Amino acid sequence: MEHVTEGSWESLPVPLHPRVLGALRGLGFPYMTPVQSATIPLFMKNKDVAAEAVTGSGKTLAFVIPILEILLKREEKLKKSQVGAIIITPTRELAIQIDEVLSHFTKPFPQFSQILWIGGRNPGEDVARFKEQGGNIIVATPGRLEDMFRRKAEGLDLAGCVRSLDVLVLDEADRLLDMGFEASINTILEFLPKQRRTGLFSATQTQEVENLVRAGLRNPVRISVKEKGVAASSTQKTPSRLENYYMVCKADEKFNQLVHFLRNHKQEKHLVFFSTCACVEYYGKALEALVKSVKIMCIHGKMKYKRNKIFMEFRKLQSGILVCTDVMARGIDIPEVNWVLQYDPPSSASAFVHRCGRTARIGRGGSALVFLLPMEDPYVSFLAVNQKCPLQEMKLQKNTVDLLPKLKSRALADRAVFEKGMKAFVSYVQAYAKHECNLIFRLKDLDFASLARGFALLRMPKMPELRGKQFPDFVPVDVNTDTIPFKDKIREKQRQKLLEQQRQEKTENEGRRKFIKNKAWSKQKAKKEKKKKMNEKRKREEGSDIEDEDMEELLNDTRLLKKFKKGKITEEEFEKGLLTSGKRTMKTADSGLSDSEDDC
């Protein structure tokens, strides 16, 4: 197997411990990658490092090895409860992976203890484990680590334990910030000693990452490692051994194309990316039913406790399909992934790069395929320019079977499938509306009828994005969807019970609701009538400030002025008109006066 190498580990200017070299040989890494050869010597020479490298370039070993070497060279040996290094990473899956790699290196050094702190576990058990076993090296997600600093009442003084800290590593720093962990990281940094070495590792460089570099690192050495053989002017962000494809197909053809592809690649290992958790839930179950003799697993961000187990199980598989969201897109190293299939393009161009980077890792080969709708075709050019990521076209596969009727039958037979399909469609449309490349991915250009057919919907859902639209190309099923039962008898029993309660409440409240509605309407009418009468009475009592004759004169004068300004009458005619209007008013006033005198 061909690897991107930068010489042997023995060629480093700072020699590594023999047992570290032994662990590297045991893992099958006789040579360094470019990011490792650039980063490790600097880290070991007391430098803060900010490293940017393409995904799958071996960043994990670039900080695991220096951590061990630095802790081994400590003058004062670490006690059980003293923390020498902390590695912070954005997701549980990545933390589990780093912890696993680290364990290969700490095994020959029993003096070091390591601990993993991630969400989805009992924090009380994490506290007890630390008190019992210690944790010289902590691998953690930001939320759980921040929480541990607040566990003093439970006997864990983590703020005191980290005074001995030598190394802090922020892995996938751009993702840490994208996921909203900035506040947690800033809180954690306040607890840590200033005299430490800090390593920041990232696949992309953003302004937010730059701000974090300034806040958390002291005079850092900046490293940017590009693919070997890539021109200096280029900024290609995907591995050079990655074969990147795209396929243009209509929304109602996409699922058939995906299933056909997976059925023809059963002996391989695949990641299939969808845009939302609801889409993973819906299409994951559909693939389980339609792609036989293959292990299919689903993973997404809303899974609390199963994620860790599923991730570890899939890593051990020789072949299989993992249906997932972007929770699996960053830093995760799953051995021997052959294809990364993007059923839905990601919400940002950088996420596209990270998804593709789950294959062709550390010098290995791999392929990626993204499915695009006809109107999304310009995305290919956008990726070539914006991410320096060229794509080759893959033609539509022939002799595909139309499986959408089978999906419809599943929905008709089980309400759970019907509801998941509706939820998936709604979540997809909402995610589409928020796409970063909104000049290409425009909601108003979506063919909703074709999309609904692609989701095998029985009817169109009610949602704001579809309000007022007609869909002649979509034919809903001639079935009252409210009558579709759950296959799970317990769920169906609960649903029927709830429906009966709603019917009873409707019957009981029907008369009352009608009475309340009429009462409110009559009250409103009475209020309007009362207001109208009050206004009329006030007018009669007070009279108007302007008499009718004065109002008429004012209107005549206004009309004359408008004619004069438009040049329709001369100045002489205008003045004559004013005089005539005044005389008419005087005459009326005299007439009124004599009438009043007669009355007296």
User: Quick one: angle between helices 254-263 and 404-413, nearest 10?
Assistant: 100
**Percentage of the chain with pLDDT > 70?**
82
Q: Select from 463, 481, 499 the last residue of a domain.
A: 481
Find the mean pLDDT for residues 544-564: 66
Q: Which domain holds residue 32?
A: 9-225
Tell me the C-alpha distance between 121 and 103, whole Å.
Answer: 20
Torsion of CA 472, 476, 477, 481, to 10 degrees: -160
Find the mean pLDDT for residues 22-36: 88
Find the mean pLDDT for residues 356-374: 74
**Of 136, 209, 223, 151, which is closest to residue 175 (Cα–Cα)?**
209
State which H helix or E strand residue 214 sits in: helix 207-216
355 has a pLDDT exceeding 80: no
Tell me the C-alpha distance between 87 and 197, whole Å.
Answer: 12
Q: How many residues does the chain have?
A: 600
Domain identity same for 27 and 175: yes
In a domain, 237, yes or no: no
Nearest-5° Cα angle at 264, 384 to 240:
30
pLDDT band at 203 (very low <50, low <70, confident <90, very high): confident
Domain identity same for 176 and 288: no
pLDDT at 232: 38
In a domain, 594, yes or no: no
Highest mean pLDDT among 131-135, 435-439, 518-522, 531-535: 131-135
pLDDT band at 138 (very low <50, low <70, confident <90, very high): very high
Tokens of 183: 């506040």
pLDDT band at 260 (very low <50, low <70, confident <90, very high): very high
In a domain, 235, yes or no: no
In a domain, 593, yes or no: no
Looking at per-residue pLDDT, the higher value among 570 and 97 belongs to 97
Highest mean pLDDT among 181-185, 290-294, 516-520: 290-294
In a domain, 554, yes or no: yes
404: domain CATH number is 3.40.50.300
pLDDT at 496: 92
Domain identity same for 293 and 327: yes
**Of 50, 76, 21, which is closest to residue 168 (Cα–Cα)?**
50
pLDDT band at 237 (very low <50, low <70, confident <90, very high): low
Find the mean pLDDT for residues 272-278: 93
254 has a pLDDT exceeding 80: yes
pLDDT at 306: 80
Mean residue pLDDT of the chain comes to 83
**Of 456, 446, 448, 451, which is closest to residue 476 (Cα–Cα)?**
456
Residue 281: half-sphere exposure toward Cβ, Cα within 13 Å: 18
pLDDT band at 2 (very low <50, low <70, confident <90, very high): very low
The values of phi and psi at residue 117, to 5°, are -120, 110
Looking at per-residue pLDDT, the higher value among 539 and 392 belongs to 392
What's the structural domain count of the chain?
4
543 has a pLDDT exceeding 70: no
Q: Any idea which of 24-33, 229-238, 418-427, 569-578 has the lowest mean pLDDT?
A: 229-238
81 has a pLDDT exceeding 50: yes
Tell me the C-alpha distance between 238 and 360, whole Å.
Answer: 9
549 has a pLDDT exceeding 70: no
Q: Any idea which of 110-124, 157-171, 257-271, 357-371 has the lowest mean pLDDT?
A: 357-371
Find the mean pLDDT for residues 542-566: 65
Looking at per-residue pLDDT, the higher value among 103 and 349 belongs to 103
Looking at per-residue pLDDT, the higher value among 307 and 157 belongs to 157
**Percentage of the chain with pLDDT > 90?**
44
Find the mean pLDDT for residues 412-433: 95
pLDDT band at 583 (very low <50, low <70, confident <90, very high): low
Residues 6+ positions from 18 with CB-CB distance below 8 Å: none
Tell me the C-alpha distance between 282 and 425, whole Å.
Answer: 10
Domain identity same for 391 and 278: yes
Find the mean pLDDT for residues 261-267: 93
Q: What is the pTM of this model?
A: 0.58
Q: Select from 225, 254, 274 the last residue of a domain.
A: 225
**Of 97, 90, 120, which is closest to residue 303 (Cα–Cα)?**
120
pLDDT band at 132 (very low <50, low <70, confident <90, very high): very high
Q: Any idea which of 72-86, 162-176, 209-223 has the lowest mean pLDDT?
A: 209-223
Give Cα 566 to chain centroid, integer Å. 63
Looking at per-residue pLDDT, the higher value among 208 and 422 belongs to 422
Tell me the C-alpha distance between 309 and 558, whole Å.
Answer: 85
pLDDT at 591: 40
Domain identity same for 120 and 135: yes
1 has a pLDDT exceeding 70: no
Domain identity same for 439 and 452: yes
Output the CA–CA distances (angstroms, integers) from residue 484 to 256, 288, 301, 423, in the order listed: 25, 22, 29, 16
**Of 213, 242, 215, 237, which is closest to residue 226 (Cα–Cα)?**
237
pLDDT band at 53 (very low <50, low <70, confident <90, very high): confident
Domain identity same for 128 and 260: no
Q: Select from 462, 481, 500 the last residue of a domain.
A: 481
Tokens of 462: 């009610």
596 has a pLDDT exceeding 50: no
